[in-house]
Amino acid sequence: MTSCGPCWPPLRPKVGTSLPWLYYRLFRWFPKRAFSRLMGWVAATPWPGWLLRPTIALYVALFRIDMAQFVVPAEGFRTFNAFFGRAVRPGLRPLAPEPDALLCPVDGTVIAAGPIAHGQLLQAKGHSYSLEALLGAAEGWQAYEGGTALTVYLSPRDYHRIHTPCAGEVARFAYVPGELWTVSPAGVRGVPGLFARNERVVSFLAASFGELAVVAVGATVVGSVRVVYHPVRTNRPGARPMAAPVQPPLPLERGAELGRFELGSTVIVLCRLGEAVLDDLAPGTPVRMGQAVGRILRRGDA
């Protein structure tokens, strides 16, 4: 499989200098929210074709995007957001055939994978963050203690729609406004508790074997995160935390579209102890939507 994301090489700071630390110091005062809202507005605004077409063509060339994979050709979009959220051609993201397989919800590159232990998740080598800080806006977050988590970064070249890891119902969700730090290697290694600080939408999928959580994390330049089951949109002035049931619950087949990024970011999948487990994939591993990245441990009656 060819890489569909960056290789995340180790940072090599100059002697006596930490590049992630410098990033954190330099950009903590940068107006990340205002800048991201501006970029979101620009990306959602219809441009004249003479400007949009060469811009998209340059983006495609710069990031080496194979547009043959997608339904609409590069010249067929009216906004940059429409191009960025482009749909992949049917059949090009086959779903793992094993009935107990958990599917990767996105194309991207693994940042971290492993157990959720003592209320902590792995952010990067030597760095962890709090499960409560990540999911604490929603009831029942404690049930994910002892489970496993997989974090995947979506680079600018990746397919940016989010899909379900298994069949189930979206029964509840949480929206947590927050900061918009970059999720690049410098951000992941330099910003403490990055994924629990950035704004995010948590979708809880009730399945036959239990429940899992899919967290869509915002970042610098992410115009918005959208989901298929609620009109909530991220990165809006005056946003307030929200934790609510989905009424009625929305049933989704395995691999169905769950949401999308309007400009890209990161997805975290969490499984509860004894119900399902995610693979311990090495950082830098390229993954594609639909491939098996875990397995169901017990099957329900459904």
Query: Is residue 43 in some structural domain?
Result: yes
Query: Is residue 10 in some structural domain?
Result: no
Given the residues 36, 128, 163, 203, the one annotated as active site: 163
- Between CA 171 and CA 187 the distance in angstroms is 32
Where among 32, 57, 84 does a domain terminate? Answer: 84
Query: Is residue 95 in some structural domain?
Result: no
Q: The whole model's pTM is what?
A: 0.87
For residue 31, what are the domain limits? 19-84
Query: Is residue 7 in some structural domain?
Result: no
Hunting for tokens 């990161």 — which residue is that? Answer: 266
Q: Do residues 63 and 109 both lie within one domain?
A: no
Q: Do residues 184 and 288 both lie within one domain?
A: yes
Question: Residues 48, 72, 109, CA angle at the centre, nearest 5°?
Answer: 105
Q: What are the residues whose beta carbons fall under 8 Å from the beta carbon of 240, sequence distance 6 or more?
A: 177
User: Which of 25-29, 79-83, 107-111 has the least mean pLDDT?
Assistant: 25-29
Summarised one tens digit per residue, pLDDT across range 186-205 is 778 878 898 998 899 999 99
Residue 280 bears catalytic tag: no
Average pLDDT over the chain, rounded to an integer: 85
| Dihedral Cα 253, 255, 261, 265, nearest 10 deg | 130
Summarised one tens digit per residue, pLDDT across range 27-78 is 666 656 666 667 767 777 888 889 999 999 999 999 999 999 999 999 999 9
Query: Is residue 11 in some structural domain?
Result: no
Contact between 144 and 272 under an 8 Å Cβ cutoff? The reply is yes
Residue 130 bears catalytic tag: no
Q: Residue 223's pLDDT is what?
A: 57
Residue 163 bears catalytic tag: yes
Query: Is residue 5 in some structural domain?
Result: no
Query: Is residue 89 in some structural domain?
Result: no
User: What average pLDDT does this structure show over 8-22?
Assistant: 42
Given the residues 36, 128, 203, 265, the one annotated as active site: 265
Q: Do residues 266 and 137 both lie within one domain?
A: yes
Query: Is residue 109 in some structural domain?
Result: yes
Q: Do residues 112 and 160 both lie within one domain?
A: yes
Q: Do residues 203 and 246 both lie within one domain?
A: yes
